[in-house]
Amino acid sequence: MRGRDDQRLMRGLTIAQIALAMILLTTGGLLIRSFRALLAVDPGFRPERVLTFQLELPMGSGMPYAAQTPRDVFFATLLERIKGLPGVSGATLASAPSLEEEPAAFSFPLPRASEGQAVRANFQLVSGDYFAILGIPIVAGRTFGPSDLRSVPRVAVVSASLARVAWGGRGAIGQHITVRSGEQADVVGVAADVRTGGLSADAARTVYVPTSQWTFNFMTLLVKTRTEPTALVPQMRGIVREMDSALPLHHVRTMEAMVAGSVSQQRFQTLLVSAFSVLMVTLAVVGTYGVTAHGVSERTNELGIRSALGATGSDIRRLLLREGWRLTVIGLAIGAALTAALSRSLTRFVFHISTLDLPTFVIAPALLAVATLLATFIPTHRAARVDPMEALRSE
């Protein structure tokens, strides 16, 4: 009686291990497929060989940068000197780099809309060559040029998604937009969409305005290089130190590192669940092996009698494999049912795939079934080769 209770307990634990392994293996498969889909997303710009760093010019009273003109001169000189470095193919300014987690944003009223209707958009100060350096296409109109100065009416470039929301099927070029300061700006161009909140975020609605028409003191420099970007950091630090030794460089990083960082949470989740999946599959395999081996040892006399009565090794092997297969099927069925029930809670963790993704729900149980059946086969194969007389004498 005690042996039967132990056997039932071991079988129950094995089924539970297989079910839990099924849940984790399926979840890990979903996260892996989701992560691959995330990495395939086009961020809307080309991050290759682009280095970014930030500078803030002090604006206090009596400071050399209290007025905008010396700030303009500083950044213009800095850009020219950086562009002159060997290995640099271009440099530009932006108030924040693409993929910034918390870009500046504002709301403006929709054209011909009732009072209170507004659209929210990101707000970016950029130099005219910003789009070319990051490979952001201008799909309509133009970008900023030397004629867009503070002495002339303000202009703006809007993202394609913002143009669709604000003006629908009508052309955005020539439309007016109320920007952050309450001033009007004429839309002169439409740029392709860029993802600013990470690769999993929707394309950002963005208003770009030229640095040549706005006041600023805190800017991000983006440097396009022909060589490894980080190799040029010491030379860039040296240029800034020569121009103003009191100015430190902040957030020195490459755009490729920023893209990688934007998916770091998803990468960690995928690695963590995958590690637990491997662990649980291992436990399920060991548990299945243990249950089968224990069952074989308990039934040595029975198997000897069967062999003596004419049962072949294949017959015994099929008998024991059938029992191992039953445990596997029960565990997989319970695991699949629980995974399907928990699928809604996985929605926020997966990207561009269904939580009931068919390939995952086919491959995961197939892998687990093969692993557990192999674990069953080893003790079963040994039992089928035991001499019936030795088995009978062991009792």
265-314 tens-digit pLDDT = 777 878 887 787 777 777 777 777 776 666 666 555 555 555 555 556 56
Q: What is the pLDDT of residues 328-351, one digit of tens each?
A: 888 888 888 888 887 777 777 777
CB 256 within 8 A of CB 228: no
> Does the predicted model carry a pTM greater than 0.95?
no
Q: What is the pLDDT of residues 40-63, one digit of tens each?
A: 777 888 889 999 999 988 877 667
Instruction: Compute the chain's Rg from CA coordinates.
Output: 33
Mean pLDDT of the chain: 80
Terminal CA-CA length for the chain: 18
Q: Give dist(CA 260, CA 180) in Å, integer.
A: 31
Q: Which of 220, 291, 299, 224 is nearest to 256 (CA)?
A: 224
Q: What is the pLDDT of residues 382-392, one digit of tens each?
A: 655 555 555 44
Determine whether 179 is exposed, middle or buried from the number of CB atoms within 10 Å of its CB (0-12, 13-18, 19+). Answer: middle
Give backbone dihedrals phi and psi of 40, rounded to 5 degrees, phi first: -85, -5
Query: Helices 358-384 and 313-341: crossing angle, nearest 10°?
Result: 150
Q: Where are the domains of the chain?
A: 2-40+264-393, 50-262
